Amino acid sequence: MCGRFTLTLQGSMIADWFEFEPGQIDLAPRYNIAPSQDVLTIIRRDVGNQPQFMRWGLIPFWAKDMSIGYKMINARAETVAESRAFKSAFQKRRCLIPADSFYEWQGAGKSKRPLRIMLKSEEPFAFPGIWETWKDKSNPASVPVLSCSIITTVPNSFMEPIHDRMPVILPREMEQVWLDPGNEDLGMLREMLLPCDPGLLKAYEVSALVNSPKNYGSEVILPVTAPFK
């Protein structure tokens, strides 16, 4: 799964990397992004790539209330095209969710150690995401809520010793293909949801500070051991 991640770059660098106009959205480094928080997404509009904050945890349009979103932070690559909650978004509302690392907890005896996982290049990357608009039908005056999920897949050989799932990391050359709302080739889209090359990844252990989203400063990403092998 993917339950925490980071986006630590300055806003202008993110805008340049993901090809949207700087100044469109206020961005600050984030070191411990957690479910139900607003996360940066990139969607495609007629004018090009657009940044948009969305609640992490997709709320299907048919949901009676927002609480279901806590169970929808991830969509499985194997079933996203058929799932009642996700299939419409997969077909019509895809997004990029920028990151520069994610956290996973590896079992270590009776405890678990948190690891920060990132590209060896330390460059930003994008999770493929899907998004939805939800409105409280019991309150006509309510404001529509935009929400999203990160798509996960089976682990590659690097992630297998850590966890039985991992987020998909899109190859950079496929990001715009994923965003294209005119792309209706669902077979090709599903083929994009494979685990990345294990040789691209590195990891190191961080402190238990990351266990709580109340800890969100830069100290969260400080290493406590040598890089994971």
Half-sphere exposure of 180 (CA within 13 A, CB side): 13
- Which CATH architecture best describes the domain 5-227? Alpha-Beta Complex (3.90)
From the number of C-beta atoms within 10 Å of its C-beta (0-12, 13-18, 19+), residue 105 rates as: middle
For residues 165 and 193, is the Cβ–Cβ distance under 8 A? no
Q: What angle do CA 114, 116, 120 make, to 5 degrees?
A: 150
Residue 122 annotated among the catalytic residues of the structure = no
Query: Which pLDDT value is given to residue 229?
Result: 62
Is residue 137 within 8 Å of residue 152, measured between CB atoms?
no
Task: Kindly report, residue by residue over 62-109, the tens digit of the pLDDT.
Answer: 999 999 999 999 999 999 999 999 999 999 999 999 999 999 999 877
104 is catalytic: yes
Q: For residues 121 and 83, what is the distance between their CA atoms, to the nearest angstrom?
A: 35
Rounded CA separation 134/136 (Å): 7
Q: Per-residue confidence of the chain (229 residues) as pLDDT tens digits?
A: 799 999 999 888 899 999 898 888 888 999 999 999 999 999 998 878 999 999 999 999 999 999 999 999 999 999 999 999 999 999 999 999 999 999 999 987 778 999 999 999 999 999 999 999 999 988 888 899 999 999 999 999 999 999 999 999 999 999 999 999 899 899 999 999 999 999 999 999 999 999 999 999 999 999 997 666 6
Parse the chain into domains and list their residue ranges: 5-227
* CA nearest to 20, candidates 55, 54, 56, 44: 44
Catalytic-labelled residue, pool 21, 78, 95, 104:
104
Predicted local distance difference test score (pLDDT) of residue 39: 97
